[in-house]
């Protein structure tokens, strides 16, 4: 069977449906808030109720705490904002060092800079692409104060080992679970294991409010600090009689009532969305077992929520470079409605290692992340609930067609 990239007939020409979890429930919730006329319940001065947000914000925070099983949830206007205030809640200051992953969205590494701290890059694990506990140990100095753990793609990091390191060296652990809501590590929700968890409600995530973020913690003190930092801390510390927090400078990182109302409805859909993604991902994993040059993430003590699904391709086992292989698979498929300019959603490498960004001016070169980015890792966005079983079958058929006829390449 001739491959499409060589002039053959592609597996699929029909576009895939775009992902959208917004429905009538969210529209009804938004209209309810609009009818009430209170679009934000926050006050930037001390009030025992309004300082902490309106009823929609507080309801969603309560719901999220129950879902993740934490004591406190603090909503913010983005996960990026959440990382910034989480670091300050961990008392990060100028001269401190924060160990970070180079394999994530940029704010995971740039957030320490806001407080004058230095991000220190540790290498990643070659199986699930999260920060490596062994590399963390190598990067610890007397200046190290915290670790930002990114649960990349929706797969939990090795939290037992990381938490042991943190305990031994008295370090704060911030879990960036923006891509991993509902993912479990040994039965525990990510975002509930470290000192602080961060989640995203950005438009590209499992559930969304356009923009938005969530901080979680079981610490009363950290929760209070983040609530203050979210909402003009400097104005209210005297009113709450906390002179020890008088050095806090707050922000306007508040979530609106409309966003919170949408989030409440979106949360109701999250578990089903995760289950669909896990089902589709398993089908891809099962299909790939027939090919020794393809490997997927091995899960033994954790569950994956599949923001995207990553795989490893070994070009030395085929003699075909990764890009050539993926170009052939993409040629068998088509684009997603409304996102045609993005091409077929199969990508190589993920994020360029963050230490290569000019802002870090780093000469770092970590071997595993470099190898994954340059030669081995690829991922696709074919696990979402916008797909049906026929769509998944087509994607599997495209991969199999190329794998079975790889000698054509």
- DSSP structural state of residue 285: H
- CB distance 162 to 136 below 8 Å: yes
Examine the fold and report which residue of 243, 266, 289 is the final residue of a domain before the chain moves on.
Answer: 266
pLDDT digit string, tens, across residues 6-18? 999 999 999 999 9
Residue 257 and residue 360 in one domain = no
Count Cβ atoms below 10 Å from residue 245 Cβ, excluding itself: 17
Residue 181: both structure tokens together? 């809501």
The answer for residues whose C-beta is within 8 angstroms of residue 220's C-beta and 6 or more apart is: 71, 72
The strand pair at 346-348 and 196-200 is best described as unpaired
**pLDDT, mean of residues 166-190:** 98
CA–CA gap between residue 37 and residue 257 (Å, rounded) = 10
Residue 251 and residue 278 in one domain = no
The strand pair at 118-121 and 97-100 is best described as parallel
Residue 93 and residue 223 in one domain = yes
pLDDT higher than 90, residue 199: yes
Confidence (pTM): 0.97
pLDDT higher than 90, residue 72: yes
SS3 label, residue 27: helix
Q: Output the pLDDT for position 320.
A: 98
Phi, psi of 22 (to 5 degrees): -80, 125
What CATH number is associated with residue 131? 3.40.640.10
Residue 10 and residue 142 in one domain = no
Residue 299 and residue 258 in one domain = no
- Which segments of 107-247 does DSSP mark as H helices, in order? 107-110, 133-139, 159-169, 220-230, 233-236
CA–CA gap between residue 395 and residue 334 (Å, rounded) = 10
SS3 label, residue 74: strand
**pLDDT, mean of residues 175-185:** 98
**pLDDT, mean of residues 244-273:** 96
Residue 14 and residue 88 in one domain = no
CA–CA gap between residue 96 and residue 111 (Å, rounded) = 13
- DSSP structural state of residue 370: H
CA–CA gap between residue 207 and residue 262 (Å, rounded) = 10
Residue among 210, 204, 211, 161 at smallest CA distance from 179:
204
Q: Is the dihedral of CA 373, 378, 383, 384 positive or negative?
A: positive
- CB distance 68 to 74 below 8 Å: no
Domain housing 343: 4-21+270-408
SS3 label, residue 286: helix
Q: Output the pLDDT for position 196.
A: 99
Residue 80 and residue 97 in one domain = yes
pLDDT digit string, tens, across residues 109-145? 999 999 999 999 999 999 999 999 999 999 999 999 9
- DSSP structural state of residue 352: P
Q: Output the pLDDT for position 48.
A: 84
Examine the fold and report which residue of 225, 250, 266 is the final residue of a domain before the chain moves on.
Answer: 266
What CATH number is associated with residue 295? 3.90.1150.10
CA–CA gap between residue 352 and residue 176 (Å, rounded) = 18
pLDDT digit string, tens, across residues 341-356? 999 999 999 999 999 9
Q: Output the pLDDT for position 232.
A: 95
Phi, psi of 273 (to 5 degrees): -60, -45
pLDDT digit string, tens, across residues 310-341? 999 999 999 999 999 999 999 999 999 999 99
3-state percent breakdown (helix, strand, coil) of the chain, nearest 5: 45, 15, 40
Q: Output the pLDDT for position 361.
A: 79
The percent of residues in the chain predicted with pLDDT above 70, rounded, is: 100
pLDDT digit string, tens, across residues 294-315? 999 989 899 999 999 999 999 9
- CB distance 369 to 400 below 8 Å: no
Examine the fold and report which residue of 245, 266, 287 is the final residue of a domain before the chain moves on.
Answer: 266
Find the helix or strand (DSSP H, E) in which 294 lies. strand 294-296
Residue 259 and residue 335 in one domain = no
pLDDT digit string, tens, across residues 39-58? 999 999 998 889 999 999 99
Residue 220 and residue 275 in one domain = no
Total domain count, the chain = 2
Residue 333 and residue 397 in one domain = yes
The strand pair at 294-296 and 309-313 is best described as antiparallel
Residue 337 and residue 242 in one domain = no
pLDDT higher than 90, residue 194: yes
Q: Output the pLDDT for position 258.
A: 98
Find the helix or strand (DSSP H, E) in which 199 lies. strand 196-200
Q: In which band, very low, low, confident or very high, does the pLDDT at 362 lie, cut at 50, 70 and 90?
A: confident
Q: What is the mean pLDDT of the chain?
A: 97
The strand pair at 97-100 and 144-150 is best described as parallel
Residue at token pair 């927090």: 245
């Amino acid at each position: 069977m001739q491959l499409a990239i060589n002039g053959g007939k592609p597996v699929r020409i029909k576009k895939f449906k775009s992902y959208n979890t917004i429905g009538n429930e969210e529209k009804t919730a938004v209209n309810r808030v609009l009818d009430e006329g209170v679009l934000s319940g926050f006050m930037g001065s001390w009030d025992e109720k309004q300082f902490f947000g309106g009823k929609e914000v507080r309801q969603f925070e309560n719901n999220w705490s129950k879902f993740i099983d934490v004591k406190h949830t603090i909503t913010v206007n983005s996960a990026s904002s959440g990382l910034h205030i989480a670091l300050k809640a961990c008392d990060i200051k100028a001269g401190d060092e924060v160990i970070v992953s180079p394999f994530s969205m940029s704010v995971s590494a740039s957030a320490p800079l806001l407080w004058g701290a230095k991000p220190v890059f540790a290498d990643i694990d070659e199986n699930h692409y999260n920060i490596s506990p062994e590399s963390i140990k190598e990067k610890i100095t007397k200046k190290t104060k915290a670790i930002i753990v990114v649960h990349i793609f929706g797969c939990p990091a090795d939290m037992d080992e990381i938490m042991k390191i943190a305990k031994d060296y008295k370090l704060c652990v911030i879990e960036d679970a923006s891509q991993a809501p509902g993912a479990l590590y040994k039965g525990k929700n990510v975002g509930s294991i470290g000192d602080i968890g961060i989640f995203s409600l950005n438009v590209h995530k499992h559930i969304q409010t356009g923009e938005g973020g969530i901080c979680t913690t079981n610490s009363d003190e950290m929760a209070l600090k983040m609530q203050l930092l979210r909402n003009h801390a400097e104005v209210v510390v005297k009113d709450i009689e906390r002179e020890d927090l008088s050095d806090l400078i707050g922000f306007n990182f508040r979530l609106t009532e409309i966003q919170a109302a949408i989030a409440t409805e979106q949360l109701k859909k999250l578990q089903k969305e995760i289950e669909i993604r896990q089902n589709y991902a398993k089908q891809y994993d099962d299909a790939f077992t027939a090919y020794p040059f393809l490997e997927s993430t091995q899960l033994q003590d954790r569950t994956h929520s599949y923001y995207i699904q990553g795989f490893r391709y070994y070009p030395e086992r085929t003699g075909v470079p990764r890009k050539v292989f993926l170009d052939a698979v993409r040629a068998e498929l088509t684009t997603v409605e409304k996102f045609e300019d993005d091409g077929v959603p199969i990508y190589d490498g993920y994020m360029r290692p963050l230490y290569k960004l000019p802002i870090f001016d780093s000469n770092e070169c970590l071997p595993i992340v470099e190898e994954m980015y340059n030669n081995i890792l690829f991922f696709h966005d074919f696990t979402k609930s916008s797909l049906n079983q026929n769509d998944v079958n087509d994607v599997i058929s495209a991969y199999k067609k190329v794998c079975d006829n790889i000698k054509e390449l």
